[in-house]
Chains A and B, each alone.
Chain A
Amino acid sequence: DGGITQSPKYLFRKEGQNVTLSCEQNLNHDAMYWYRQDPGQGLRLIYYSQIVNDFQKGDIAEGYSVSREKKESFPLTVTSAQKNPTAFYLCATHSSSPTGNTIYFGEGSWLTVV
C-alpha cells in the first residue's frame, strides 16, 4: 500500500536519552515534515525537508535533529536537550501537481518520558 509509515507508535524515553522516530514514505514525494502536537493543542512545525540532503528548521527545532539521506526517509531524533519531549509526533509529506497540492500524514508516534 502507498503511504507514510511512522514507527514506533508508542515510545518511552528515559531522561537523558536520545530517541529516534522513523518516518518512511513510498509516495515519491520530495517534501517531508515533522510536527509536534501537545494534548489539546495544534500542530507545531519542528523541521522540514524539500529535497534530499537538505532540511530547514521550523518553529520549535531546538532539542531535535533530522537527516534526509534518502528521499523515502526522514527520521527525527529527540535529543536529551529537549526538556519536555512528551508529545504526539506527526510526519507528513507534500505533493504538488498541476491539479493541486496536498499534505499526507502518517498515523503519528506517541513519545513519553519516564
Chain B
Amino acid sequence: GESVGLHLPTLSVQEGDNSIINCAYSNSASDYFIWYKQESGKGPQFIIDIRSNMDKRQGQRVTVLLNKTVKHLSLQIAATQPGDSAVYFCAELPHKFYFGSGTKLNVKP
C-alpha cells in the first residue's frame, strides 16, 4: 500500500454502473484502513473506514471489503455518478500513514 511514485492506474466506468477500486496493503499488523477521494487540485477527503476485525462495512453508496488473508482492500461504489470522478487512495494505520498509489476513476456520461 505504500506509494512509490508510480503513475496512477485508471478505471473507466459508465455512469450508473458499479465501480470497484482495489488496494493491496503491506503491513499485516495494520489494524485500521481508510479510503480517501481526491479531486483535482484539492486535498483528499475521507470516504469510509474499516477496522481489521471486520470484513465489510457499508456507507452511503459505498462499501469497503477487507481480505486480511491476501492483504487486500476494495472500495465498491454503487450507481457511479460523474461527481465520483476523482483519484481514490487507501491508507493503512497505525504508526506512519502509508497510502496506496491510488486509482483514477473516470465516469463516462
A contact set with B: CB distance below 8 Å: 33, 35, 38, 40-45, 48, 56, 58-59, 88, 90, 92, 94, 96, 100-108, 110
A-contact 0/1 string along B1-18, CB 8 Å cutoff: 011111110000000000
B interface with A by C-beta (< 8 Å): 2-8, 32, 34, 36, 41-46, 49, 51, 89, 91, 93-94, 96-102, 104
Of listed B44, B46, B101, B102, residue having the most chain A CB within 10 A:
B44
Q: CA of A94 to CA of B34 in the docked complex: distance in angstroms?
A: 12
A56 to chain B, nearest CB (A): 8
Contacts of B2 in A (CB 8 A): 59
Q: Whole-angstrom distance between the alpha carbons of A102 and B49 in the complex?
A: 8
Also in contact, A108 and B42, with CB within 8 A (given A42-B99, A44-B5, A45-B98): yes
Q: List 19 A-B contacts (CB under 8 A).
A: A33-B97, A40-B104, A41-B8, A42-B4, A42-B5, A42-B99, A42-B102, A43-B102, A44-B5, A45-B98, A48-B97, A92-B97, A101-B32, A101-B93, A102-B46, A105-B36, A105-B44, A108-B41, A108-B42
Residue of A101, A107, A108 with most partner-chain B CB within 10 A: A101
- Contacts A48-B96, A90-B43, A94-B97 given; indicate if A41 touches B3 (C-beta within 8 A): yes
CB-CB under 8 A from A44, the residues of chain B are 3-5
Majority SS at the chain A contact face: strand
A103, B91: Cβ atoms closer than 8 Å: yes
In the complex, what residue of chain A is closest to B44 when comparing beta carbons?
A105
Chain A residues whose C-beta falls within 8 Å of the C-beta of B102 in the assembled complex = 41-43
CB distance from B58 to the nearest CB of A (A): 16
- The reply to whether A43 and B89 form a contact with Cβ atoms under 8 Å apart is yes
Distance between Cα atoms of A90 and B99 in the complex (Å)? 13
